[in-house]
Amino acid sequence: MSAQDLSIVAKLINGGVAGLVGVTCVFPIDLAKTRLQNQLGKASYKGMIDCLVKTARAEGFLGMYRGAAVNLTLVTPEKAIKLAANDFLRQLLMEDGMQRNLKMEMLAGCGAGVCQVVVTCPMEMLKIQLQDAGRVAVPQQGSASRPSSSRSYTTGSASSHKRPSATLIAWELLCTQGLAGLYKGLGATLLSLGFSELTGKASFAHSFVSGCVAGSIAAVAVTPLDVLKTRIQTLKKGQGEDVYSGLTDCARKLWIQEGPPAFLKGAGCRALVIAPLFGIAQGVYFMGIGERISKCFE
């Protein structure tokens, strides 16, 4: 096996390990983020901690990992697509990837994000349905004026309601809306992706901290888009909640009905999710787990 092949194998292993570890560590916070972003008017949850406590009480510990199986299954192919696309575009744009050029690196990262969305958008779509399935829909004041097209549901304890499955949700979407159903919210997903990878050698501490800082900044910066994506991709609406025809319609309704602060719902949770994911990715690359394993293929 050539050195280039070993490098690709190592990157895929690093990306997969980082994704699996990261998702497992921060998934409950991601679930809280989804539920906080979807609630409007009178809040069911006062914040992240309140959301996690109520979820654990009503649905058990495993309730905080609703939708994790989708992410754990698809995170490795997602990373594989992103890494392969990023390497290809770096080679194409930067003279075999040897010449350092910040603009070209950012362009390569954006291109990799566009390719990655092939897996990311359906993964997010299914994950959000599963994460939001246990949210308690609280009747809103003035809900009578809301569009009747919003499908209402109320969920309580895990035992009183059948838990949906990703396979069933995907099948229903394909049957009712075709392949486009799995790519609902594609525009918001595309806009929120595209941050280039951080590369270069440093100490483990520097790698982890730099990844966390970069992740936090990126997370907060794209939170408005993430809120829009979450609202658009949520199929079952709580009592009095709107349905949206697209990105612009969602942004307009959010601005009018809930005001500017609504665009930053879940920003703290998102930072707590993305920062460790970036940090773990940097740490895994620093430790060279993939490089060690790939040597077995020599």
Range of the domain at 89: 3-138+165-297
Position 18 in a domain: yes
7 in a domain, yes or no? Answer: yes
Contacts of 269 (CB under 8 A, 6+ apart): 29, 30, 32, 33, 36, 48
Which DSSP symbol is given to 241? -
User: Whole-angstrom Cα distance, residue 287 to residue 211?
Assistant: 14
Is 12 among the domain residues?
yes
Place of tokens 């979450």: 230
Angstrom distance (rounded) from CA 243 to CA 254: 11
Residue 129 forms part of a structural domain: yes
Phi-psi region of 112 (alpha: psi -120 to 50; beta: other; left: phi over 0): alpha
For residues 258 and 4, is the Cβ–Cβ distance under 8 A? no
The residues near 3 (Cβ < 8 Å, ≥ 6 apart) are none
- Residue 153 included in any domain: no
Look up residue 65 and give its DSSP letter: G
Report the distance separating Cα 21 and Cα 16, nearest Å.
Answer: 9
What percent of the chain stands above pLDDT 70? 78
CA–CA dist 93, 257 (Å, integer): 45
Residues of the chain with pLDDT under 50: 97, 136-161, 195-201
Domain-located, residue 266:
yes
Structure tokens at 287: 């430790």
d(CA 17, CA 12): 9
Q: Tell me what pLDDT residue 6 has.
A: 54
Looking at the 3D structure of the chain, how many domains does it have? 1
Has residue 117 been placed in a domain? yes
Distances (CA, A) of 65 to 56, 203, 274, 294: 10, 33, 17, 31
* pLDDT for res 103: 78
**22: CATH:** 1.50.40.10
| Residue range 78-125, pLDDT digits in tens | 877 887 787 788 878 876 545 567 778 778 888 888 888 889 899 999
- Is residue 219 domain-resident? yes
Token pair for 286: 């620093």
Nearest-angstrom CA–CA distance, 204 and 193: 26
DSSP element (H, E) containing 201: none
| Residues 6 or more apart in contact with residue 134 via CB below 8 angstroms | 55, 58, 59, 63, 66, 155, 158
